[in-house]
A and B are shown apart, each in its own frame.
Chain A
């Protein structure tokens, strides 16, 4: 298995609070991604990174920000969580000629 961990694995929070999810890799891969998974929608790309401090928006980036200060870590922040951001969040990584490998996911509930 690719070395990807996500923390926390489960989180319950209240509307309006900030939340940060962490993705950590040990593969030294260049690309890192954050997706959200919702029933009927498959996975949708939130943000991705193609290097340290290099990030770009995906399909559903509104309400989310990211940071990548080290190759191994990619953080996803919800500045002010809303109930519509209740979802399962997946991190993925890939090299320049490799397939995306996914982390185990974080289940976030916003009350």
Chain B
């Protein structure tokens, strides 16, 4: 069985500040981890994915995430928030690198203040 917990359903940062969105997972097999972003009234878009090639994964729009096995975490970061980053972010885990059986966390809504 696998599960994902996202700490903080809402996160608010100022424009230019560090963005940190937290994700912890549990998985009975080596996990493949994903971050998706959802802009208002749209579907989900893949930000980045971890498939064991490297623990630090760079994604689109300046986001990156680090896989830490000892902490069972895959937190998402961006050094400097932009107004356009305001969206909902979902962490997900899959037992295979194709992401064919995704289990999602509850989501974190990121608000960016001017």
Contacts and interface: CB of A to CB of B under 8 A. Distances in A.
Interface stretch (A41-49, A61-69, A72-80): A41-49
A95 B90 CA distance: 21
Nearest to A103: B43
Interface of A: 4, 31, 40-45, 48, 59, 90, 92, 94-105
A102 B44 CA distance: 6
A41 B100 contact: no
Given A59-B103, A100-B100, 6 more contacts: A42-B105, A43-B90, A99-B46, A104-B43, A105-B42, A105-B43
Interface residues of B, number: 25
Contacts of A44: 104
B106 interface: yes
Interface in B58-114: 90, 92, 97-107
Given A42-B106, A43-B90, A94 B100 contact: yes
Contacts of B34: 99
B12 interface: no
Contact of B49 (A45, A97, A99, A103): A99
A15 B95 CA distance: 37
Nearest to B90: A42
A21 B100 CA distance: 21
Nearest to A9: B41
Contacts of A95: 98
A104 B42 contact: yes
B55 interface: no
14 contacts: A42-B4, A42-B92, A42-B104, A44-B104, A45-B102, A90-B43, A97-B97, A99-B98, A100-B46, A100-B100, A102-B43, A102-B44, A102-B45, A104-B43
